[in-house]
């Protein structure tokens, strides 16, 4: 897919070689270092529409500092895990979706990585093996159990999610979840379960949600999705079965749409057969890819 997908692409040198070197990491914590300003775990937007950065002097003295990487000019970039967000559960602020429209590809990548890391630290304060408190290690890319008899190492995790369009005789199967805005339809999606390959997950999810058995499955693209920390794996599948039986616990509706209906919806028209997913979602690019085939 020849396109730019939100939250992907990278905006910093992640500098893995520095994470485990306490001396090198410490040398970056100076007056030149940058601190990503966050409101909870949502971004603070600067007057120019980009991410807002401060210095380490702005950090909460009670916070843990997470090393995000190096800027182009070699400065260390950090985010903070403040006591206020530890153990908190908060949905994305509605203003976040509007803010994302002003951020560049690089800024979205930086923020997405920072949000996932900070949120992971806020939710993983105790060892999953023995229950003891954990402490930050390797610049924030690890937490280590404080129990000397355990010392388990815990790492940030990414949850794989398949998101897929299904094609039959030139038409596309799309569905709408209860949480979607009115008339919004998108690709079907679901988490990959233990013991599954991507193709297995695609076939299972389509069968469970829409009652449709698919045959061939093709990988198209991927997107890091920091809500809280998923990897959206976009696929396209084919079927000869048109009959739909929806799982009402997952979907409000699922329908077949013609190429013309999809093209018109993707033009941004509000009087089409449905409203397309927003441009920052990989589902949008999946539909765009299908129209180009």
Q: What is the pLDDT of residues 242-279, one digit of tens each?
A: 999 999 999 999 999 999 999 999 999 989 999 999 99
Q: Is 271 domain-assigned?
A: yes
Claim to verify: residue 115 and residue 140 sit in the same structural domain: yes
Same domain, 35 and 61: yes
Flag whether 19 is in a domain. yes
Residue 240 belongs to a domain: yes
Is the model's pLDDT at 134 over the cut of 60?
A: yes
Identify the pLDDT of residue 92. 64
Q: pLDDT at position 1, please?
A: 64
pLDDT beyond 80 at 95: no
Q: Is the same domain home to 92 and 143?
A: yes
When divided into structural domains, the chain yields a total of 2
With respect to residue 30, please indicate whether it lies within any of the assigned structural domains: yes
145, part of any domain: yes
Same domain as 272, residue 143: no
The pLDDT of residue 87 is 80
Question: Is-above-0.75 flag for pTM?
Answer: yes
Choosing from 152, 167, 187, the residue where a domain stops is 152
Higher pLDDT, 246 or 3: 246
**Whether residue 33 is found in the same domain as residue 134:** yes
Tell me if 70 is assigned to some domain: yes
Residue 196 domain-assigned (yes or no): yes
Backbone angles phi, psi at 226, to 5 degrees: -85, 45
* Contact present, 257 and 174 (Cβ < 8 Å): yes
Residue 269, pLDDT score: 93
Q: Are residues 190 and 88 in the same domain?
A: no
* Residue 187 shares a structural domain with residue 100: no
Using the 3D structure, point to which of 106, 136, 152 is the last residue of a domain.
152
The residue among 122, 137, 152 that closes a domain is 152
Q: Are residues 217 and 252 in the same domain?
A: yes
In CATH, what number is assigned to the domain containing residue 214?
Answer: 3.90.79.10
Q: State the CATH number of the domain containing residue 18.
A: 3.90.79
- In terms of domains, do 142 and 164 share one? no
On whether the CB atoms of residues 87 and 122 are closer than 8 A, the answer is yes
CA dihedral 291, 284, 120, 143 (to 10 degrees): 30
Residue pair 114/14 in contact by the 8 Å Cβ criterion: no
On whether residue 9 sits in a domain, the answer given is no
Give the pLDDT of residue 91. Answer: 65
Range of the domain at 192: 157-290
């Amino acid at each position: 897919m020849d396109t730019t997908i939100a939250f992907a692409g990278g905006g910093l040198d992640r500098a893995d070689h520095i994470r485990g070197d306490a001396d090198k990491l410490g040398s970056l914590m100076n007056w030149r270092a940058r601190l990503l300003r966050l409101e909870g775990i949502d971004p603070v937007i600067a007057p120019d529409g980009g991410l807002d950065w401060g210095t380490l002097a702005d950090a909460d003295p009670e916070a843990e500092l997470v090393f995000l990487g190096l800027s182009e000019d070699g400065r260390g970039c950090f985010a903070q895990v403040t006591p206020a967000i530890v153990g908190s559960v908060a949905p994305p602020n509605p203003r976040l979706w509007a803010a994302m429209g002003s951020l560049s590809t690089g800024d979205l990548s930086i923020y997405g990585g920072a949000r996932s890391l900070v949120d992971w630290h806020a939710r993983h304060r105790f060892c999953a093996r023995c229950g003891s408190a954990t402490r930050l290690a390797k610049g924030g890319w690890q937490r280590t159990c404080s129990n000397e008899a355990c010392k388990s190492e815990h790492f940030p995790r990414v949850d794989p999610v398949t998101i897929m369009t299904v094609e039959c005789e030139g038409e596309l199967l799309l569905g709408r979840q209860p949480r979607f805005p009115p008339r919004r339809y998108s690709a079907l999606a679901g988490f990959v379960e233990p013991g599954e390959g991507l193709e297995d997950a695609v076939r299972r999810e389509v069968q469970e949600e829409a009652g449709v058995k698919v045959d061939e499955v093709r990988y198209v693209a991927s997107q890091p999705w920091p809500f809280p920390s998923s990897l959206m794996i976009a696929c396209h599948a084919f079927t000869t079965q048109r009959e739909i039986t929806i799982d009402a616990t997952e979907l409000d509706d699922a329908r077949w749409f013609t190429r013309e209906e999809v093209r018109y919806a993707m033009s941004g028209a509000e009087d089409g057969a449905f409203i397309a997913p927003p441009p920052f979602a990989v589902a949008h690019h999946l539909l765009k890819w299908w129209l180009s085939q």
